[in-house]
Amino acid sequence: MPFLVVGAIAGSIPGLPNELPSSAFMFVCPAVAAYLVAGRSGRRALTRWALRMGTPDAMPWIAVALMLVPALLLLAYTLLWLGGAHTHADPPWRMLPVFLVVFLIAALAEEIGWTGYVLGPLRHRLDATTAGLLLGLVWAVWHLIPLLQVGRTVAWIGGWFVSTVALRVLIVSVYEASGGLALTATTVHATSNVGSSLFPGYTTAPAMWVVGMVTAAAALFCVLLRSSAVTCPPGSVRPQRRRRYA
C-alpha cells in the first residue's frame, strides 16, 4: 500500500524510459511476504533456492532463459516494422548496464515470492499450464494499479495483460525444465523488463498487442510440447506452518 501511495503522488520515475511508475518499487513485496510466512526452515530453504547456481546440465536452459525474451521482442519488432509501424525512437543503450543490475535484483525479489514460494503448492494441485496461467493472472492484476497511475490506456493494458500471463507460463516452463533453478525464472523475468525498456514504441497499444500475441504464441507452443504431469518442481519451497516454530 505505501508504494501505491508513492506512485499516486510521484507518478513515473524520472530519467527512466517507458514511464516506469514509482510504485514499481513494490517489487520487494513478494520476497518480503514469502520470508514472513515461510517459517524458519522455509526462510533458509528460500535463501538456498535463490542462491543455487545449478549443474552443468542446466546450462542449456540458462541460455534459453537468457535468449527467449530478446528473441520474442525481436520478432515482435520485425512484425511491426513489416506492418509499417516504423519508429524513430532511439533506445537508451547506454543505460543497459544499469538496467541489467536493477532489473535482475527486482526480478529475483519477485521470483522468490512468485516462483520460490507460491509455485510449489500450486504444482501439487495443478498441472504446469494451469498453475502458470493462474499465477500469471494474479501477477498481472498485481501490476494494474501502477500502470493506471502512469496513464496507460485500456487498449495498452489489454495487450500487456496477455503478454504478462503468457510470460508467466513461459517462466514456469523454463524453470521446471531447468530442474527448479531460480536463475532461469529470474533471467526470463529480468530480460523482459530490460527488453521493454529498450523496445521502440513499447508504450503504444499496437506495439503492446503485437508483443502480447507473439508471447502468447510462444507460450502456446511451449504448452503443446511439454508434459502436464502434476509434480512439484525440483527446488521449490513448500509452505511451513508457522506454529511449529513458535
Position 156 scores a pLDDT of: 96
Position 56 scores a pLDDT of: 84
Q: Which helix (H) or strand (E) holds 121?
A: helix 120-125
Bridge partners of 21, per DSSP, are 12
Position 114 scores a pLDDT of: 96
Position 61 scores a pLDDT of: 95
- Rounded Cα distance, 54 and 170, in Å: 19
Position 6 scores a pLDDT of: 44
Position 164 scores a pLDDT of: 97
Position 203 scores a pLDDT of: 87
Asked if 24 and 149 count as a contact pair (C-beta separation under 8 A), the reply is: no
Position 240 scores a pLDDT of: 46
- Rounded Cα distance, 79 and 83, in Å: 6
Please state, in angstroms and as integers, the Cα–Cα distance from residue 145 to each residue in 18, 66, 153, following that order.
16, 29, 12
H-helix segments, 178-204 = 182-198
pTM of the model: 0.85
Mean pLDDT by 10 residues, the chain (246 residues): 46 57 76 91 92 88 97 96 76 88 94 96 94 97 89 94 98 95 97 93 92 98 73 50 36
